Structure 1
Amino acid sequence: MGLALVSALECAAEGVPFARDAGIPVSAGIVFGLLAGSVLVLRRKWPIAVVLVAIAITPAQMGFLMGIVGLYTLAAAELPRRIIVALAGMSLLGTMIVTFVRVKQDMARGDLTLGDWFVPFAAVTTSLGLTAPPVLLGLYVGARRRLMESLRERADSLERELQLLAERAEERAEWARGEERTRIAREMHDVVAHRVSLMVVHAAALQAVARKDPEKAVKNAALVGDMGRQALTELREMLGVLRSGEAAQRRTAPASASVPAQVRAAVPASASASVPLAAVGVAAAAAASRAAEEEGPWLSELEVLIGQSAAAGMVVDLSVEGAVRSYAAAIEQTAFRVVQEALTNVHKHAAGAKTHVRLAHRMAEIAMQVENEPPPEPASAASAGLPSGGNGLVGMRERVLGLGGVFVSGPTDAGGFRVSAVIPSA
């Protein structure tokens, strides 16, 4: 608005000599100058119109400020370059012609006594001086403004991407923690259910023979003690895995302090807080899983497992097919737990039933099957008082499917129950 006011006053002052030369009233020249100069107020909205008006009043030697400011605004605006070049060329040509004519007239009247060379020189330098600087400055300012807007957009986009990464990292950490909780729950179920089931069976046998056969009662009591100690040992191992995961989390947490200050400044507050914590959660869960896999159990302990069930009164038949070889820790652990949980279910639901355990080492997979015959006394399971939460089969299925295998379970035609699993060996 200030520039428009100055331009209007300038054009009004220049309208006085224009009116005298044109032979019109001075007041008309002043009003014309005021109207023409005030067009500069539209320079941001319609820069092309301002430049065209400035070019139109150039022959009247009016609107020098309006022409300079109009060209600057035109060059800095978001307009095609051909339009800017065309209007700048028109302004340059118009200023050059007017200056050439005015200087030649002054020399003809004797106001200037220089040579003929001065006429084109004055026309060229004046036109360039009034056109080139505002156009170049406008192009520079426009380019800088567009660059800053592009950088701002990139910064906003980077902030959104970092926020999205932080959310995804937090989701991965939560998923890893959930997976670890599920794995620990499966391990606890397998260890506690199997050992405690055997302890309950032996305790029931101990109660039955305590008075009739003291030697057998002592033997059963010793077996109960051994089962309890084994259960405590496995529980301690699992607690050690959990503590090692917590220690890994404490060791990983200070790593966030080594992040450069520039990176922390560029990341949103929520993202900078979520990324390290999420990374710690994933690292801790991975460390705990690796430690658990290294602890076992292994397939080489399968005969001991079956021997414990046989000591509890179960008739177990073990058959192994194919060449025995070692597998990855996760595969051996899953195969062992499937057999262990299947035997636990036999103790719970079919006490005294004859059970067949088959293990097959094949070319690219390992297969296992645990099948029990109908129990001789259907009420024996209820008398043993063994509860069932229904999580055993779910845990076995999750273990096998997690390794890309196949799990099938269900009753047999003969009245028993069969659990089958096939796990890829690679």
Structure 2
Amino acid sequence: MLDGGLALLSAAECALEGAGFAERASLPALVGVVFGLLAGSVLVLRRRWPVAVVLVSIAVTPAEMGFLMGIVGLYTLAASEVPRRVIAALAGMSLLGTLVVTFVRTRQDVATADFDPGPWYVPVVSVVMSIGLTAPPLLLGLYVGARRRLMESLRERAISLEQELTLLADRAEQRAQWARTEERTRIAREMHDVVAHRVSLMVVHAAALQAVALKDPQKAVRNAALVGDMGRQALTELREMLGVLRSGEEAVARAAAEPVPLAAVGAAAAAAAEAAEAGDGVQAGEAGEAAGEFGEFGEAGEAGEASAAGEGPSLADLGSLVEQSRLAGMAVELSVHGEPRVYRPDVEQTAFRVVQEALTNVHKHAAGAKAWVRVAHRAAEIAMQVENGPSLRGAADAGLPSGGNGLVGMRERVSALGGVFVSGPTDGGGFRVSAVLPMGSQAESPAG
């Protein structure tokens, strides 16, 4: 609508000025009016072809018409995306044409006037008129064009920043999801290591308790006590992990866990012995389980308090770990090469868990097989290897459930610390698990 209105005004102006031009040129007035209408209506194309509008306005300048078209055309040209050299050239042509026409017209008017204004009058008026008709629209157009480009640049930058913020938010959500997944995986590994090993040994001891209940009551009592000890250890480690997950509920959980007198443990063990002497194997098994339960709830609170400040299992606990497997009936040899030293907690815990899970797999899948545990403290790394021979029971497992995540969890633990993990069967019919962890020692000492 704006362009159409400006085009109508320009056509009306050019039509009136065209009539005067036709009179001065001794032409029919209709010719001048039609020519002015056609020339003035070109202004409607100023947005699409600003160069053409300015060229038309320059072309009709000698006929003293198209002043509105020239002003609006120069403004549109300066505000457009046309190259600056083109704008400068067309503005110079328009200024020169207006200067020449104004000079000639003013000189004619002065020649017919009754007074003499002096020789300076014509040039000054011509220059002022030409600059006044050319400079203001040109400068205004340059300002509007620069402001428009600045606003467009700011708008594009805002859109780009919004896209970057959206991308950063998506990445933050992905990192949060990845962190949650990693934490769930880590907790799952810890739960697997604790429950699988302790409960596997408890199942093995329970089977031994059932087997010897009638033949050797004293051994049955010892096995029941071992089951209770392992249950307490498992419960302590589980409480440590749950304490991390529910730190706010630790006080409530401690208050809810009422300690049971240690006399109850002795009473339960005595009941297991009496049941064994009476020849009731099933009752002995139940009594052994009761002893384990009483042992768990009676001493787990104190054990949890004592180990709450610790950082989990370490290489110093490998001796007790191997001893537990020996008490469960496995022939295990432990050999340590090099001078032991203290490593970072995560390295110590990972090394312990690898050996623990490997021994658990031997209990599960190679009952009765002999195992060798080797640990080597080297200059820049620590290596551990657990190897077992063929099962003495025809590779029959102990009937323990397996989720198939033991080796996967060990590989994840070792890889997370930048180590190397290898596992596979041996030529002798056994299985071997090897892991190498980079050095992360807290107290450096020469390797042996």
Q: TM-score range by the shorter chain?
A: 0.7 to 0.9
Question: RMSD across aligned C-alpha pairs, in angstroms?
Answer: 2.0
Q: Deviations along 1:335-372, whole A, 9 cap, x unmatched?
A: 10111011111111222322211110000111111122
TM-score by length of 2: 0.81
Query: Which amino acid in 1 is paired with 2:24?
Result: D
The structure whose Rg is larger is 2
Which of residues 90, 112, 117 in structure 2 aligns to 1:109?
112
Residue 10 of structure 1 and its aligned partner are, at CA, apart by: 0.8
Shift in Å, 1:183: 1.5
Question: Do the aligned partners of 1:40 and 1:66 also contact (CA within 8 Å) in 2?
Answer: yes
1:354·1:372 contact (CA, 8 Å) conserved in 2? yes
Percent sequence identity is 76
1:388 maps to 2:402: yes
| Count of equivalent residues | 380
In the other structure, the counterpart of 2:219 is 216
Cα drift, residue 9 of structure 1 = 0.6
Pick which of 317-326 and 392-401 moved more. Answer: 392-401
Question: Are 1:356 and 2:372 an aligned pair?
Answer: yes
Distance, in Å, in 1 between the alignment partners of 2:68 and 2:411 is 84
The residue that corresponds to 2:38 in the other structure is 35
Q: C-alpha separation between the residues in 2 aligned to 1:417 and 1:157?
A: 57
**Corresponding residue for 2:135?**
132
Preserved contact between residue 355 and residue 373 of structure 1 (Cα < 8 Å): yes
Residues 45-54 or 356-365, more deviating: 45-54
| Equivalent position to 1:23, from 23, 26, 35 | 26
Range moving further from structure 2, 160-169 or 331-340: 160-169
Given the alignment of the two structures, is residue 327 of structure 1 paired with residue 343 of structure 2, yes or no? yes
- Find the partner of 2:93 among 90, 94, 97: 90
C-alpha separation in 2, matches of 1:114 and 1:191: 112
What TM-score results when the alignment is normalised by the length of structure 1?
0.85
Deviations 1:134-190 (A, max 9, x none): 000001111111111111111111122222222222222222222222211111111
8 A Cα contact 1:293 1:333, kept in partner:
no
Aligned to 1:340: 356
State the partner residue of 1:297: 313
Provide the C-alpha distance between the structure 2 equivalents of 1:39 and 1:394, rounded to a whole number of angstroms. 79
Which fold has the larger relative contact order, with Cα–Cα distance below 8 Å and residues 6 or more apart in sequence? 1
Secondary structure of 1:413 counterpart = coil
Deviation at residue 112 of structure 1 after TM alignment: 5.3
Cα 1:148/1:140, change in 2 over 3 Å = same
- Partners in 1 of 2:203 and 2:197 — Cα distance? 10
- Gap change, CA 1:298 and 1:207, over 3 Å in 2: same
| CA offset digits 1:393-422 (Å, max 9, x no partner) | 221122122222222222223332221111
Q: Classify the secondary structure of the residue corresponding to 1:371.
A: strand
Equivalent AA in structure 2 for residue 82 of structure 1: R
Q: Which amino acid aligns with 2:91?
A: A
1:293/1:329 contact within 8 Å kept = no
Using the TM superposition, give the Cα deviation of residue 3 of structure 1 relative to its aligned residue in structure 2, in angstroms.
0.3
- 1:50-105 CA-to-partner distances (Å, cap 9, x unmatched) read 11111121122111111111111111111111111111111111111111111111
424, 433, 436: which one pairs with 1:410? Answer: 424
Are residues 1:205 and 2:219 paired? no
Q: Choose from 32, 38, 63 the match for 2:66.
A: 63
| Whole-angstrom CA distance in 1 between matches of 2:411 and 2:46 | 75
What is the DSSP-based 3-state SS (H/G/I as helix, E as strand, rest coil) of the residue aligned with 1:398?
A: helix
Q: 1:138-149 maps to which residues of 2 (within 5 A)?
A: 138-149=141-152
Q: Measure the CA separation in 2 of the matches of 1:169 and 1:136.
A: 48
Query: What SS does the aligned partner of 2:375 have?
Result: strand
Q: Partner residue of 2:433?
A: 419
